[in-house]
Amino acid sequence: MDVLLPTRRLVLGTAGAALTAVGGLLLGSLPAAAAPPPSCANDTCTVTFSLSGAPESFTVPTGVTSISATVAGGSGGAGHEDNLGGGQPDPGGDGGKVAASVPVTSGESLTVVVGGKGTDGLPVGSTDPTAAGGYGGGASAVNLQNAGSDGAGGGGSFLFRGADVLVAAGGGGGGGYQAGGTGGAGGPGNDGSAGGPAGVGGGGGTAASGGVGGTAGGTSGSGPASRPSTFGTGGEGADNCPLGGGGGGGYYGGGSGGCQTPANLGYGGGGGGSGFLAAGITASSTGTNTGDGSVTLTYRLPADTSTTLSVAPASGATPSTDLTLTAHVSGATGTPEGTATFYDGTAELGTATLHAGVATLHTTLPAGLHHLHVTYHGASGYLGSESAVLGYAVAAPSTPSTPASSTPAGSASVSSTPPAATASSPLAATGTRTASLGLLGLGLLAAGSVLWLVGLRRYRSH
């Protein structure tokens, strides 16, 4: 029997490792499932993820820059009944639970993994080879030669950005057999707890390593979690004591329980997996969870905004005029913050920061008609908006006229340039020509003179 135990354990471990590797490849090649629909009330929305056995995606809504994430790992399975008499099954450890505020970028995609509860220990006579660990890195507990098994480890729950873990909560370790080996609680953003009893139970996972296996044959956990299909996994069974409780999954997995005595009369509980918080993320609360894990994301819907543009002076500007462009941004609630960018058509004029909902830019514009508008880019809790286009005319600078020369009093101003002739249309004749009348008058005067001389001569002859 002592020779067969390690051999059987080796065969099972090799097959399990192969299946795990294949499963990881398949999960890594498949796209994450879409998130469930949100539930919204009073501008606050909540998306709750339950155990699905696969990664799920969440796209950050437009205008949202921060979410509250509550992440809970699965609990470990209970140990099986004491077939040697005098004992009761020991419960598995609780999963960790942590709530934190996570900065996000509007439109980015996050990935959620929800850990499952570890399977309770198998009874004596069961033909199942293992009590299955919870999804999310929970370790199975081996049922060797139908002697039953202890509890399996619970799986960790995670929130990922790409391959980076943002938040993780560890799964609880599987309960032991007869020895009172309660599985360690998964770490809520920190280390997992050790399984019991002391020394025999597996160690909890930490921020830097997997939990150490319990004495007399427990195996250590592994990690860290590195992408949505690769988790920190708990230690499984034991080299020469396969009935120990499985370690919980998490950022790093917990160690499996070891044997209490060389006679194998008791088996320790598995250690809990560790939790994790990325740099810049701080826990707002921590706790524990029983059953399957969960991930809840809560965010505030951004408020609509309205943006208007004004220009001073309103008219009469020239290319040298210092223009003041002012953006006024109002929100459905509160006072928007952030930045606004000013444009002339498609040309960017500059960007200014809002103060009490107002952004100002000073500039000059060349002569001509301009199409001015401003875009508010939105901020935490506020959607972006754009003003209407404002047509604005800038006049060309006037050409200075030549000043008239001054002429001293009493002198005449002589121009060396004759005035230009003015063309006009000839008038139609409306009466007797003046030249003809003059000739007629001269003729009559001459005739009168002749008649007067003739009369004078006749008078003298008498």
Strands of 254-322 (E only): list them.
276-277, 283-289, 294-300, 305-312
Q: Residue 418 has what pLDDT?
A: 44
Q: Residue 1 has what pLDDT?
A: 29
Q: Residue 413 has what pLDDT?
A: 38
Q: Give the predicted TM-score (pTM) of the model.
A: 0.70
Cα-trace Rg, the chain: 49
Residue 365 corresponds to which amino acid? L
Q: How far apart are CA 194 and CA 1, in angstroms?
A: 30
Task: Answer for the pair 220, 194: CB distance below 8 angstroms, yes or no.
Answer: no
- From 162, 227, 248, select the one nearest 25 (Cα to Cα): 227
Strands of 171-215 (E only): list them.
none
Q: Residue 171 has what pLDDT?
A: 95
Are β-strands 39-41 and 66-72 bridged in parallel, bridged antiparallel, or unpaired? unpaired
- From 109, 101, 37, 112, select the one nearest 66 (Cα to Cα): 101
Tell me the sheet residues that pair with 361: 325
- From 181, 226, 192, select the one nearest 73 (Cα to Cα): 192
pLDDT string in tens for the chain (462-residue length): 232 332 222 223 333 333 333 333 334 445 678 888 999 998 899 999 999 999 999 999 988 889 999 999 999 999 876 545 455 678 899 999 999 999 999 899 999 999 999 999 888 788 888 889 999 999 998 877 666 778 899 999 999 999 999 999 999 999 886 544 555 677 777 899 998 887 788 999 999 999 998 887 789 999 999 999 999 999 986 555 666 889 999 999 999 988 766 555 567 889 999 999 999 998 999 999 999 999 999 999 889 999 999 999 999 999 999 999 999 999 988 899 999 999 999 999 999 999 999 999 999 999 999 999 999 998 878 889 999 999 999 999 887 665 555 544 443 333 334 444 443 444 344 444 444 445 455 565 565 655 545 555 554 555
H/E segment holding residue 457: helix 434-461
Burial class (CB in 10 A: 0-12, 13-18, 19+), 184: buried
Residue 24 corresponds to which amino acid? G
Which residues make Cβ contacts (< 8 Å) with residue 327, sequence separation at least 6?
A: 307, 308, 309, 340, 342, 352, 354, 358, 359, 360, 374, 376, 387
Task: Answer for the pair 220, 211: CB distance below 8 angstroms, yes or no.
Answer: yes
Q: What tokens were used for 258?
A: 């070891």
Q: How far apart are CA 252 and CA 235, in angstroms?
A: 10
H/E segment holding residue 20: helix 4-29
Domain ranges for the chain, please list them: 1-301, 305-394
CB atoms inside a 10 Å sphere around CB 404: 7
**What CATH number does the domain located at 305-394 have?**
2.60.40.10
Helix (H, G, I), strand (E, B) or coil at 31: coil
Q: Residue 452 has what pLDDT?
A: 47
